[in-house]
Amino acid sequence: MTAGIVDTSITGMTGRVRRRVDELLADFLDARRPPVGDPDVAEGYRLLREFVVEGGKRIRPLLCYWGWRGAGGETPHEDRAVTTGAALELYHAGLLIHDDVMDGSELRRGRPTIHRGLARAPRWPEAETFGRSAAILLGVLAQAWADELLADATVGDVRGRTARELFNRMRTEVVTGQYLDILAHTRADADVEQALTVIRYKTARYTVERPLQIGAALAGAPPALLEAYSRFGLPLGEAFQLRDDVLGVFGDPAVTGKPVLDDLREGKRTVLMAHAYARARGPERDLLRTWHGDPGLDERRAAELRQVIVDTGALDEVEELIALRAGQAIEALRDQTIAPEAARALAVLTERLTRRVR
Amino acid sequence: MTAGIVDTSITGMTGRVRRRVDELLADFLDARRPPVGDPDVAEGYRLLREFVVEGGKRIRPLLCYWGWRGAGGETPHEDRAVTTGAALELYHAGLLIHDDVMDGSELRRGRPTIHRGLARAPRWPEAETFGRSAAILLGVLAQAWADELLADATVGDVRGRTARELFNRMRTEVVTGQYLDILAHTRADADVEQALTVIRYKTARYTVERPLQIGAALAGAPPALLEAYSRFGLPLGEAFQLRDDVLGVFGDPAVTGKPVLDDLREGKRTVLMAHAYARARGPERDLLRTWHGDPGLDERRAAELRQVIVDTGALDEVEELIALRAGQAIEALRDQTIAPEAARALAVLTERLTRRVR
Picking from B175, B197, B292 by the largest number of A CB atoms within 10 A of its own CB, the best residue to mutate is B175
Distance of alpha carbon A103 from the chain centroid: 15
Q: Could you give the CA distance from residue B65 to residue B61 in angstroms, rounded to a whole number?
A: 6
Per cent of chain B over pLDDT 70 is 95
Are B279 and B313 contacting, i.e. CB atoms less than 8 angstroms apart? yes
Verify whether the Cβ–Cβ distance B180 to A36 is below 8 Å: yes
Containing H/E element for A252?
none
Q: Chain B: give the shortest CA distance to residue A117, in Å.
A: 14
In tens, the pLDDT along B257-282 reads 777 788 899 888 899 999 999 999 99
Identify the CATH assignment for A3-354 out of 1.10.10.60, 1.10.357.10, 1.10.3720.10, 1.10.600.10. 1.10.600.10
Nearest to B35 among A137, A144, A173 (CB): A173
Q: Could you give the CA distance from residue B71 to residue B346 in angstroms, rounded to a whole number?
A: 13
Q: What is the residue extent of each domain of chain B?
A: 3-354
Segments of chain A with pLDDT less than 70 = 1-8, 121-122, 189-190, 357-358
Q: Chain A: give the shortest CA distance to residue B9, in Å.
A: 38
Residue B8 pLDDT more than 70? no
Q: How far is CA B349 from CA A5, A40, A228, B65, in A?
A: 70, 36, 55, 12
List the beta bridge partners of residue A84: none
pLDDT value for B122: 66
pLDDT band at B22 (very low <50, low <70, confident <90, very high): very high
Residue B18 pLDDT more than 70? yes
SS3 annotation, B264-285: HHHCCCCHHHHHHHHHCCHHHH
What residues of chain A, 166 to 195, have a C-beta less than 8 Å from chain B?
168, 171-173, 175-180, 182-183, 185-186
pLDDT value for A223: 96
pLDDT value for A2: 43
Nearest to A133 among B32, B44, B102 (CB): B102
Picking from A114, A123, A140, A203 by the largest number of B CB atoms within 10 A of its own CB, the best residue to mutate is A140
With CA atoms as reference, the chain A residue closest to B200 would be A36
> Could you tell me if A98 lies within 8 Å of chain B, comparing CB atoms?
yes
Q: Chain A: give the shortest CA distance to residue B221, in Å.
A: 22
Nearest to B173 among A35, A126, A177 (CB): A35
List the beta bridge partners of residue A111: A108
In chain B, residues with a C-beta closer than 8 Å to the C-beta of A144 are: 143, 168, 171-172, 175
- Mean pLDDT, all residues of chain B: 92
In tens, the pLDDT along B203-250 reads 999 999 999 999 999 999 999 999 999 999 999 999 999 999 999 999
pLDDT band at B77 (very low <50, low <70, confident <90, very high): confident
List the beta bridge partners of residue B111: B108
pLDDT value for B185: 83
